[in-house]
Structure 1
Amino acid sequence: MNSIQLIEGGTCTILRLDEDSKLLDIEAGNPATSRLVIEFANLSYAVDCDTGTQKQKQILCSVAGHFRPGRLTAIIGPSGAGKTTLLSIISGLRASKLKGTITINGVERNREAFRRQVCYIPQDFALLPLLTVRETLQIAADLKLGSSHTDHLRRRAVIDIASKLGLLSSLDTAAGNLSGGERKRLSIGIELITNPPVMLLDEPTSGLDSAASGQVIALLHSLAEAGRTVVCTVHQPGSHMISLFDDIVVLSRGQIMYCGPRDQILDSFAKAGHVCPQLCNLAEFVLDVVSTPKENLKRLRDVSNEKYEAARLQLESTRGPQLKHQTSNGSRPPPGYFNKEKDEISRIRTYPVSHCKQFLILFKRAMICIQRDNMLTKLRIVAHLMVGLLVGIVFYDFGSNAARFQSNNACIFTSLLFLFFGNAMPAVQMFPIEAAVFLREHMNNWYSLQSYYMAKVLADIQVQVLCPTCFLIFAYWLTGQPLELDRIWRVWLICVLLTMLAQSFGIAAGAACGSQVGVFVVPALNIPMFLFAGFFLRLGEVSAYLRPICSISYFRYAFEGVLQALYGNSRKNLPCSEVFCPIRLPAKILSNLGMPTAPFYVLALALTIWIFALHISVYGLLRWKLYRATK
């Protein structure tokens, strides 16, 4: 059996191959470069409070502890003890208002460098529900494995990880159809692609039954045995589950009550006067003790601090000779030994693959989701066809009858209303799910915001063009609008621009407010746009102090653009089905509405500017969310 050694991003990986050069396993490589000891001391963290009585709330209060490689560590404690906060701080996701030191193998942590060595799996791990397990793992491999890995090795890595996690039978199952345990294992598998030396998991057993929870913890224990530093928070683990952990960190009210081996925790508590009854669950006993009044835990803190200090000194004494040996023989120190906080190079974010390849992979993923999305794609297209047919039946041949020009204007306005809400509301519902996936993947250094957003915008264009086209197939012809190519493409252009604007508005509302609030925000903010579109009030009748609203109403530009396309360019008199028609000249219909106010190309340009402004807003919102995620 042969082996190939790959070194990427400071992580050494051994790919074991058989005679047919097939990847059999991925395991932790040279311990000298991948075994990371994480230590933290005097770590304090506070958040701002909105109440006037308290300016800040202290989450962590001068905590100290360590996480060792090759051991599975559990962080337990009552709700609100600071477990998730500690985990996110260690991972590097939170940096502001943080006091204390974090060291990696004895050297102060470089946050950006360490972020490339650690994977953080949150409790609510967002997955794209339309992708299969195979596609989810394959896209992760394509984005996270650099050019040193061939396509064959990436495919074999996906199969190997799925085999380890027991997901082989579910490779072709959509992520949205997986069970809770399978979703947890898939979330771990996604981050295992790069064989990270540090894995931090927040409540990996949340929402799982006892059997599935035991499987997940057993998997984490096997990953830790390979030399990784694996830490997870757990909430009231059972006796069997707690026995799988090697080390335990106990948090209460932002303070550490114990940090050390699991088999020594009862001795420490007994020395502090807290004796565990026979046949009592270890975790329940610990949680009961640390939930007592704060003054009753002073002795426990003192005992734990003494034991931890002794363990820390022992760790430093064993690490010293190792560091000296590594420096003398010229081998590369593990990640984190070089503190580059003052080096400008370390501030430039790098990714495993180029921006061009990121865009191609993300564009392919977006196209797959669009093709499979029943709500945002198939249902929308069917709805546009059906509503277009309905509009054509209700307003049949109104466009060629001078006696019904007012009803024809109502037909146009109704059609634009449908195009706007039919494309804005689905985007409000769906984009928050995509945004959660984007935030997780970007924070774990998969790809850049620019590559993601460019791929999303370009992938969405096809649906934004197809939907209004399907609507106009029936609506334009059945309502009796003029069958002239110049007029048809102008109406089509305005409808496509309004559809793009509507989806951009929905995405912006979903990104800023979430799906629930966004459903209310979209119609509420668009009421002024409809009122000043020129349908309910002629533009000349609007009060002088309200006319600026007409200038920013994108619905006014869309409505006037369609009317100019249908009635402009010296169109001949309309036939009249009545004895007398007061208005038969199309130009007179426009002037009766106070139009035209601008040339057609200006109206199309105004809609285009609105589209770009909304996309810039969405981009800024995502950038702000990334900034807030680190606070």
Structure 2
Amino acid sequence: MIENRDNTENYDEHCSVNMTDNKYLLETEGCIEERSQILIEFNDLSYSACNRNYRCSEKHKQKQILYSVSGHLRPGRLTALIGPSGAGKSTLLNIISGLKQSNLKGSVTVNGAERNVDIFRRLACYIPQDFVLLPLLTAKETLYIAACLKLGFPHTTETRKYIVNEIANRLGLSSCLHTPVGKLSGGEKKRLSFGVELITNPTVMLLDEPTSGLDSAASKQVIDLLHAMAQTGRTVVCAIHQPSSQLMSKFDDVIVMNQGTIVYCGPQIDIYDTFKRANFVCPQFYNISEYVLEVVSGQRGGDLDQLHKISEQNYKNAQVQNQYLKNKKAAIMSGRLTEYPEEDEDGIPMPGRYSVSKWRQQKVLLCRAIICISRDNTMTKLRLAAHVIVAFLLGLVFHNFGDDASKAQSNISCLFFFLLFLFFANAMPAVQMFPTEAAVFLREHLNNWYSLQSYYISKVLSDFPLQILCPTLFLLISYCMTGQPFDVNTMMKVWLVCTLLTILSQSFGIAAGAAFNTQAGTFLIPAMNIPMFLFAGFFIKLNEVPEYLQPICTVSYFRYAFEGVLEAIYNDDRPPLQCPTREPCFIISSQQILKYLNMQSSQFYVIVLALCAWILCLHVCIYTVLRLKLYVATK
């Protein structure tokens, strides 16, 4: 994938590493220029969320989360956002990052100008608490693929590799670059999540609980890294739950929240004096973060109203001091994005929202999907092995039943089991694996890495070879061993039906995994398909189904698949079946078998069209679910 190599770049004493052959290279270790530093101010922000038990239109049923909060996030400083659980820390970060825009009152300004959300999100990165990464990629591949999706023109393959190596060296990931993400330690995963977002050298970094799940040593390493990043001129903010005294000393500014309000917003060194003026005196050698949480939760004596007034006055004074940044670069949000030509390195016009063209997005995503599929023991290796093993098992159990008239009923059961196995062997792994991939998709799409269309096209194309290979291997073994007719036309029809059912089943599993969690999807797939099995014509003949239940037979894709296989196997051109037993065989012709099962109602092309229609409907459902998740994620 990516080779480490020596570089001949010049190092400045304090700032960035600059490649002599590419003036646009984003600095991986350097200072953010003063003109590009970003001061974020939010004024009178109020936010309400819809109660899940009621409609959003019912305003009295909405839950108020933020109550007219105001504050600032200054460049070149590491800001801690602390407060008890449920104080509104994550919600405030989501609003500042632009992920939540509805049910919102108040304003967010950047260097004194009204924030343009689309442009701001290209200059900022948001790292949530649960930063999901694809476990089958190595750390190096994760970084390089992020670079390919986030760095368009004028960056070349060499500059992307260089940036990846520099970020890995800086974050201490050089020793684990070839380790799969699923085998990294908690601290390494955290640093890798930083590296993924540092690809574009963001001016603003917003992090939600970056130390959660880490030990004290790893937490210190993470905060030290964030402090170093802030010193380069970035605006770095992280919500953190009860930091130690050692970690607290690394923060330059602190915002204290409680029940949707801001109790304090200012320098970390001023917390003691501010709280003391409101009669909250922190004991000597006491962790100030713990004391602050005790104060806002009412466990300490003092005047909270006075503390609010003092904090508000301090914030007004700070607004006057911040005026210099507003005057210097108020037009940054409109100017910085026009420095690059509007086409990628392939000469393809580049859309404004994404850094690379949709064609390049699809190529990178397809490559990533193929790598994951080739390494996936469940969806690929185990799945292929299961198809081969079960095919041999069926071949042994139903050996040469296909042309034996005395075993016609058993052969029909064998054919139905073909379909039953192909459905569950492809639907269940999909519902188990897709939720993780869906979480990665949501994060990357919301961060403007690629479009939903590019992701979906690459997903469909990458799965297609395996959807062909699995039923082909299965039928090559089971079809021959069970003694089905060796006629090219018959074999192709059976293969086509089984392949369509395999594609349909995996699409069903992906739809269930995308719409629900793993547990719900695992339950719903068998539950929702029992009617399809029941009305397929195997357990009960189609003409014996009550009239009011006939519509279920009409929509059952198992009915069409079962009917298609039977019509292909027992076609009109097939000679009479053999009867090796001494006793007479009552059913020896294909027409008699189909008539007995009431399977002479649909033409084969109708069966194929019905299965294709089901596949199309499921893909529409998957696309709609993903689009809906994107919509909900911004609410």
- The TM-score bracket by the shorter chain reads over 0.9
The Cα offsets for residues 65-122 of structure 1, whole Å up to 9 and x where unpaired, read as: 0000110000000000000000000000000000001000001111111111111100
CA contact (8 A) 2:402 2:482 kept: yes
Partner of 1:125: 131
CA contact (8 A) 1:107 1:337 kept: no
Say yes or no: does 1:352 pair with 2:355.
yes
Query: Alpha carbons of 1:141 and 1:321: their partners in 2 closer, same or farther (altered >3 Å)?
Result: closer
- Distance in 2, matches of 1:19 and 1:368, equals 32
Residue 336 of structure 1: how far off its partner (Å): 5.7
Partner of 2:341: none
Unaligned runs of 5+ in 2: 1-7, 338-350
Say yes or no: does 1:361 pair with 2:368.
no
Residue 2 of structure 1: how far off its partner (Å): 6.7
Query: Alpha carbons of 1:614 and 1:19: their partners in 2 closer, same or farther (altered >3 Å)?
Result: closer
Query: Alpha carbons of 1:299 and 1:354: their partners in 2 closer, same or farther (altered >3 Å)?
Result: same
Within a 5 Å distance, the mapping from 1:82-101 to structure 2 comes to 82-101=88-107
- Distance in 2, matches of 1:556 and 1:266, equals 74
- Distance in 1, matches of 2:218 and 2:566, equals 62
Of residues 150, 158, 173 in structure 2, which corresponds to 1:152? Answer: 158
Say yes or no: does 1:299 pair with 2:314.
no
- Distance in 2, matches of 1:77 and 1:191, equals 26
**Of 596-605 and 222-231, the range deviating more from structure 2:** 596-605
CA contact (8 A) 1:33 1:335 kept: no
- Distance in 1, matches of 2:626 and 2:21, equals 48
Partner of 2:319: 312
Residue 569 of structure 1: how far off its partner (Å): 3.5
- Distance in 2, matches of 1:362 and 1:338, equals 27
- Distance in 1, matches of 2:358 and 2:455, equals 10
CA contact (8 A) 1:570 1:587 kept: no
Within a 5 Å distance, the mapping from 1:159-308 to structure 2 comes to 159-292=165-298, 296-308=303-315
Partner of 1:540: 543
- Distance in 2, matches of 1:429 and 1:2, equals 46
Residue 421 of structure 1: how far off its partner (Å): 0.5
- Distance in 1, matches of 2:46 and 2:335, equals 24
- Distance in 2, matches of 1:254 and 1:428, equals 37
Say yes or no: does 1:558 pair with 2:561.
yes
Query: Alpha carbons of 1:153 and 1:337: their partners in 2 closer, same or farther (altered >3 Å)?
Result: closer
Give the partner amino acid of 2:522: V
Residue 19 of structure 1: how far off its partner (Å): 10
CA contact (8 A) 2:187 2:214 kept: yes
Of residues 610, 619, 624 in structure 1, which corresponds to 2:623? Answer: 619
- Distance in 2, matches of 1:466 and 1:144, equals 34
- Distance in 2, matches of 1:50 and 1:565, equals 50
Within a 5 Å distance, the mapping from 1:470-489 to structure 2 comes to 470-489=473-492
Partner of 1:16: 18
Query: Alpha carbons of 1:527 and 1:2: their partners in 2 closer, same or farther (altered >3 Å)?
Result: closer
The Cα offsets for residues 415-437 of structure 1, whole Å up to 9 and x where unpaired, read as: 11110001000000000000000
Give the partner amino acid of 2:608: A
SS at match of 1:90: helix
SS at match of 2:333: coil
Within a 5 Å distance, the mapping from 1:38-57 to structure 2 comes to 38-50=40-52, 55-57=61-63
Query: Alpha carbons of 1:296 and 1:591: their partners in 2 closer, same or farther (altered >3 Å)?
Result: farther
Residue 15 of structure 1: how far off its partner (Å): 5.0
Partner of 1:10: none
Partner of 1:8: none
Of residues 463, 485, 502 in structure 2, which corresponds to 1:460? Answer: 463
Say yes or no: does 1:377 pair with 2:375.
no
- Distance in 1, matches of 2:556 and 2:53, equals 39
Partner of 1:577: 580
CA contact (8 A) 1:47 1:58 kept: yes
Partner of 2:413: 410
Residue 504 of structure 1: how far off its partner (Å): 0.1
Residue 34 of structure 1: how far off its partner (Å): 2.1
SS at match of 2:332: coil
- Distance in 2, matches of 1:19 and 1:334, equals 26
Partner of 2:343: none
Query: Alpha carbons of 1:320 and 1:209: their partners in 2 closer, same or farther (altered >3 Å)?
Result: closer
Between Structure 1 and Structure 2, how many residues are aligned? Answer: 607
- Distance in 1, matches of 2:374 and 2:393, equals 26
SS at match of 1:536: coil
- Distance in 2, matches of 1:606 and 1:2, equals 62
Say yes or no: does 1:494 pair with 2:497.
yes
SS at match of 1:574: coil
Residue 30 of structure 1: how far off its partner (Å): 5.7
- Distance in 2, matches of 1:607 and 1:178, equals 43
Q: TM-score, normalised by structure 1?
A: 0.93
Partner of 1:63: 69
CA contact (8 A) 1:18 1:24 kept: no
Unaligned runs of 5+ in 1: 5-12, 327-332, 340-347
Q: TM-score, normalised by structure 2?
A: 0.92
SS at match of 1:352: coil
CA contact (8 A) 2:32 2:232 kept: no
- Distance in 2, matches of 1:465 and 1:320, equals 59
Partner of 2:570: 567
- Distance in 2, matches of 1:20 and 1:74, equals 36
CA contact (8 A) 1:490 1:565 kept: yes
CA contact (8 A) 1:400 1:480 kept: yes
Residue 25 of structure 1: how far off its partner (Å): 5.8
- Distance in 2, matches of 1:195 and 1:251, equals 29
Partner of 1:444: 447
Query: Alpha carbons of 1:176 and 1:321: their partners in 2 closer, same or farther (altered >3 Å)?
Result: closer
Percentage identity across paired residues of the two chains: 56
SS at match of 2:152: coil
Query: Alpha carbons of 1:242 and 1:508: their partners in 2 closer, same or farther (altered >3 Å)?
Result: same
The Cα offsets for residues 422-453 of structure 1, whole Å up to 9 and x where unpaired, read as: 10000000000000000000000000000001
The Cα offsets for residues 36-68 of structure 1, whole Å up to 9 and x where unpaired, read as: 000000000111225689612211100000000
CA contact (8 A) 2:512 2:524 kept: yes
Residue 546 of structure 1: how far off its partner (Å): 1.0
SS at match of 1:335: helix
**Of 616-625 and 48-57, the range deviating more from structure 2:** 48-57
